[in-house]
Amino acid sequence: MNKRLRIAVMASGKGSNLEVIIDAAQQGKCPVDVAMVLSDRPEAGALDIARRSGIEEVVHLDPKAFPDRASFDAACAERIEATGCEWIVLAGYMRILSSHFVRRFPGRILNIHPSLLPAFPGAHAVEDALAYGVKLTGCTVHLVDEVLDGGPILAQAVVPVHEDDDRDTLHARIQEQEHRLYPETLKRIAEAGFTLEGRLVRWNKPD
């Protein structure tokens, strides 16, 4: 395969995963071109990171300016398609994507989630892991489908849970692994690619 991936990143927050992807790309460690960063929040730190990094398309779209989720997602999709991006990378994007959006980019939307899916899907994965009393958690890079945090799993990293952990300490250690795993997974997609057999991801051998 061995090609550079042209990606759009959708983010709602401070943009730490976006930043590590941009840094890895600029250092030649991850063969991607971040062509666009799109956020639903005007105050998102991800937008500032994108502007500082010289990303060609930095876009804020306000969901309140659209009559419903589907029309907002359609506007996002049109902006992404106009940039010629092949992949969409969710990096702390806090809106649930509509089915129409997901079907428009089948098998080309990635997300990273702070648990070892299928355990603890949803917005409170770190808190849920602590409350359940698990001794191991972690993070998962997966394809996005129409089930929340339910798409095929591309990569995972394990993080131990310490007895004195709270939400912040555990999340910080999970994010360390996220920042390693996300660029690595994008690199593997660019250099090797994969095929799907049902839910099972079969990685190709790199050229």
Please tell me the predicted confidence (pLDDT) of residue 58.
98
DSSP string, 54-82: T-SEEEE--GGGSSSHHHHHHHHHHHHHH
Please tell me the predicted confidence (pLDDT) of residue 37.
98
Catalytic residues: 113
> What's the one-letter identity of residue 9?
V
Please tell me the predicted confidence (pLDDT) of residue 206.
80
Please tell me the predicted confidence (pLDDT) of residue 38.
98
Per-10-residue mean pLDDT of the chain, 207 residues long, equals: 87 97 97 98 98 97 96 97 96 95 97 98 97 98 96 98 98 98 97 96 90
Phi, psi of 38, deg, nearest 5:
-125, 135
Please tell me the predicted confidence (pLDDT) of residue 1.
54
Considering the four listed CATH numbers 3.40.190.10, 3.40.50.170, 3.40.309.10, 3.20.20.70, the one that applies to the domain covering 5-203 is: 3.40.50.170
What is the CB-side half-sphere exposure of residue 152 using CA atoms within 13 A? 15
Three-class HEC string of 15-60: CHHHHHHHHHHHCCCCCEEEEEEEECCCCCHHHHHHHHCCCCEEEE
Query: Whole-angstrom Cα distance, residue 17 to residue 176?
Result: 10
Q: What is the pTM of this model?
A: 0.96
Map out the domains of the chain as residue ranges: 5-203
Please tell me the predicted confidence (pLDDT) of residue 2.
62
User: What is the C-alpha radius of gyration for the chain, rounded to an integer number of angstroms?
Assistant: 17
Please tell me the predicted confidence (pLDDT) of residue 105.
97
